[in-house]
Chain A
């Protein structure tokens, strides 16, 4: 059974940093591209970042480019999202998602609140 378990969310002040983690199980992690996708409270879905299976290439939308960094540790079956210079508009539930842009499996999500 594919499982994606996110951790690391919380309340953070504007301008500060936060790092999310996602531990994957139930599949061969290093065979798949991975992504982060977010959902602001009461809003729709927004793709945040993708990374190739080797970690050699990463992709971001303009809204987070230069502030967020996606990475992975294939030995630990773990995906990361380093978020810097956080803004109020980054407040959302962040989902770890497999196989972009299909997004075939989603984690349970972790809430990030950016507020002073």
Chain B
């Protein structure tokens, strides 16, 4: 199975600040069809996860442009700019290139 490693485990940021979360996969996430199926999810406290970013850098419907994804191969990054109170929660990366789909262990974002 593809192992997804997220860093840091947690981070604290001031409102209006910017943060980056790293996700590294144990194998390349480039599919035979040329697509890279790397997604980012946010699980707010007491809620279900929600999709933020798919295929590395595409924002899902209704997601603010404060969220951006980048990367290739095995190294990926989620950036959140102008952090707002509603951004707190646990962020997960996930891969869908190889079965079984797997997720990182999460990065907890706290607001200072």
Tell me which residues across on chain A come within 8 A of B92, comparing CB atoms: 44-45
Q: How far is the CB of A40 from chain B (nearest CB, A)?
A: 12
Contact A108 B48 (CB under 8 A): yes
One of B19-27, B67-75, B78-86, B102-110 at the interface: B102-110
Q: Which of A95, A101, A108, A109 has the most CB of B within 10 A?
A: A101
Contact B54 A47 (CB under 8 A): no
Q: Given A45-B94, A100-B96, decide whether A107 and B48 contact each other with a Cβ distance below 8 A.
A: yes
A100 interface neighbour in B48, B101, B103, Cβ under 8 Å: B101
User: Which of chain B's residues has its CB closest to A60's CB?
Assistant: B100
Contact B99 A44 (CB under 8 A): no
Question: Does any Cβ of B come within 8 Å of A46's Cβ?
Answer: yes
Tell me which residues across on chain B come within 8 A of A109, comparing CB atoms: 48
Q: Given A104-B60, A106-B50, decide whether A44 and B39 contact each other with a Cβ distance below 8 A.
A: no
Complex Cα spacing A102 to B53, Å: 10
Q: How far is the CB of A51 from chain B (nearest CB, A)?
A: 13
Q: Given A102-B54, A106-B49, decide whether A44 and B101 contact each other with a Cβ distance below 8 A.
A: no
Tell me which residues across on chain A come within 8 A of B111, comparing CB atoms: none
Q: Given A103-B39, A103-B41, decide whether A47 and B101 contact each other with a Cβ distance below 8 A.
A: yes
Interface, chain A (partner B; CB < 8 A): 44-47, 59, 61, 95, 100-109
A to B CB contacts below 8 Å, 26 in the list: A44-B92, A44-B103, A44-B104, A44-B105, A45-B103, A47-B100, A47-B102, A47-B103, A59-B100, A61-B1, A61-B100, A95-B48, A95-B49, A100-B96, A101-B94, A101-B101, A102-B37, A102-B39, A102-B54, A103-B51, A103-B94, A103-B101, A106-B49, A106-B50, A107-B48, A108-B48
Interface, chain B (partner A; CB < 8 A): 1, 37, 39, 41, 48-51, 54, 60, 92, 94-96, 99-106
